[in-house]
Amino acid sequence: MAIDFLSNEGKIELNQKQLDIYREGLEKASSRISLISVLYSILSIYLIQLIQFSITHNFRNIFFLGCLGLLIFCLSVSIVWTIRFLLPTKIAHVHAPKYFYSNIKKQYEAKGVKPEDMQRKIQATFLNELEKALDNNYNAYKAKRKKFYYAFNFALIALIPYLICASIMLGTKEKETPQKMEITNADAIVHQLDSLLSKHK
């Protein structure tokens, strides 16, 4: 059966359904933090090592430092939005039905509202409260989604410079290891040559 959009009953039904949708969405929103946590756990594997590497090696590769700066910037922005995302959100609720058919009814009776108009007046009051609660929860839901969007996407973008920096660092360390071996071998060769020369003297 089609909903009558012009009657109070139809409006109340529509608003109640939407209110339930956004309330449920707000309650479940915090569970999405696990997606951001996965990205943070990946970024944390080499983050400290990357910073230490740039300091201890006095690394002056402009491309590496630029990527590291971009990584730190994106991660910082993501963390700020994540904190904002985790902050409690005010969810609006409607009064219990008794409030309307008891308290509100008495208020209208005191104002001299006729019995035949009472139903329409109480419905209008209930509908007004529903609409206010829906507006609040809709705006809160949009704000929550926006915070998650920025927190998640900045963490995702941070993965790009993170992978570049990690590959540069690991590649540099791999190059350093054979160089040290070559130097060690060269010392051994020089030592052997010296010993051979001393024997021939």
Average pLDDT over residues 112-136: 90
pLDDT of residue 194: 59
Q: Provide the pLDDT confidence category of residue 172 given band limits of 50, 70 and 90.
A: confident
Query: Is the pLDDT score of 185 beyond 60?
Result: no
Cβ–Cβ < 8 Å for 122, 109: no
Task: Say which residues have a Cβ less than 8 Å from residue 54's Cβ, sequence separation at least 6.
Answer: 64, 65, 68
CA-wise closest residue to 172 among 80, 54, 70: 54
Residue 103 to residue 99: CA distance in whole angstroms: 5
**% of the chain beyond a pLDDT of 90:** 35
C-alpha angle 82/94/92, rounded to 5°?
15
Average pLDDT over residues 178-197: 47
DSSP assigned state of 3 = -
Tokens of 89: 């959100």
pLDDT of residue 4: 63
**% of the chain beyond a pLDDT of 70:** 82
For the chain, the average pLDDT equals 83
Among 8-12, 19-23, 143-147, 189-193, the range with the most confident prediction by mean pLDDT is 143-147
Cβ-count burial 105-136 (b if 16+ within 10 Å, e if not):
beebeeeeeeeeeeeebbbebbbebbeebbeb
- How many CA atoms does the CB half-sphere of 118 hold within 13 Å? 16
Q: pTM for the complete prediction?
A: 0.73
Average pLDDT over residues 88-102: 86
Q: Provide the pLDDT confidence category of residue 72 given band limits of 50, 70 and 90.
A: very high
